[in-house]
Amino acid sequence: MDSQLKGRDLLTLLDYTSEEITYLLEKALVMKKEAAAGNLPPILPGKTLGMIFEKHSTRTRISFEVGMIQLGGHAMFMNAKDLQIGRGESVYDTALVLSEYLDGVMIRANSHEMVKELAKHSTIPVINGLTDIFHPCQALADLLTIIEVKGALAGKKIAYVGDGNNVAHSLVIGAANMGMEVAVATPEGFEFNQNLFVKAQKIAALNGGSVIQTYEPREAVEDADVVYTDVWTSMGQEEESAARLEAFKGFQINDQLVAHAKEDYMFLHCLPAHREEEVATSVIDGPNSYVFQQAGNRLHAQKAVLATLL
């Protein structure tokens, strides 16, 4: 499988089969155990990952940089505003130039179309660190955390409650590939992308799972093994904050809502969180919360991706 995936891009989990996603998750589990035992073999000696950021980052930047260091390579932070691409150089020219210097690119960008163009013209792997439509590396860390806590993915129910955004898209596509039962609850006007929703349903059906959508958080959370949410106002949407706060009333993950999930449910959030907005402090700091284990797993999931693609 390593040879099959080497040199591939990771732009969206739609481009990966359930077998390939499973392989990356299993590799991440092994690498995490090896790291805990102090075994950090230099798998990528002399390799350099360029990291381009159009958006602020905590977990993405640090986990990728630490991951490359632990793998024996080097990571180079590049603010898009400091590059010529920020002054009008074409994506085509930038892709060809970066391919001359680097072994891979991780980019956290505004436009998924721009990242697709960068990957099209690059001769090195391009990894999506977040775009307006997808966040595949986050989804891999999410699935890894569920495996660690629940022991399996197939047949487990995951409820996503909140904005039908990039995090939701990748999470649902990944869960569908793993044969999970997925329920998405959003307010009207903030639905999951319908084209992607249909694709996720087809993927789930092929893998023994299911995907449904609703406007009722309680319906989604009923008997859920996993309850997941994200901020109601993402980066770049700050002007919509007041309207979103009004639209999302009733969608907070709180003690009353999670009472409808399974007693041993696990709570996940990609972070950063706005406490007492999309999630009650009693839930995110409660015994069923695994948000910091989830954040830590960004490192291990991405190391598996880096070790495989690079």
Binding-site sequence positions for carbamoyl phosphate: 57-60, 84, 108, 135-138, 270-271, 298
Q: Which is the catalytic residue, given 169, 244, 269, 298? A: 298
Catalytic residue among 163, 213, 270, 302, which?
Answer: 270
Omega prior to 136 cis, within 30 of 0: no
Does 201 participate in catalysis according to the annotation? no
135 catalytic? Reply is: yes
Per annotation, catalytic residue among 70, 108, 201, 269:
108
How would you class 189 by CB atoms within 10 Å of its CB: exposed for 0-12, middle for 13-18, buried for 19 or more?
Answer: exposed
As beta bridge partners, residue 185 has 161, 214
Specify binding-site residues.
Answer: 57-60, 84, 108, 135-138, 166, 230, 234-235, 270-271, 298
Distance of CA 152 to the CA centre of its chain: 19
3 state DSSP class of 15: helix
Is 225 catalytic? The answer is no
Task: Show binding-site residues for L-ornithine.
Answer: 166, 230, 234-235
Given 230, 252, 269, 300, the catalytic residue: 230
Please report, for residues 46, 189, 227, the alpha-carbon distance to residue 217 in angstroms, rounded to integers and kept in the order given. 49, 15, 10
Q: Which of 9, 70, 138, 213 is catalytic?
A: 138
Q: What is the DSSP string of 75-121?
A: EEEEEGGGSGGGGT--HHHHHHHHHHH-SEEEEE-S-HHHHHHHHHH
d(CA 116, CA 295): 26
Residue appearing with tokens 């590396």 = 137
| Residue 244 annotated as catalytic | no
> How many CB atoms within 10 Å of residue 76?
14
Give 132's Cβ-side CA count (13 Å radius).
10
> Catalytic residue positions?
108, 135, 138, 230, 270, 298
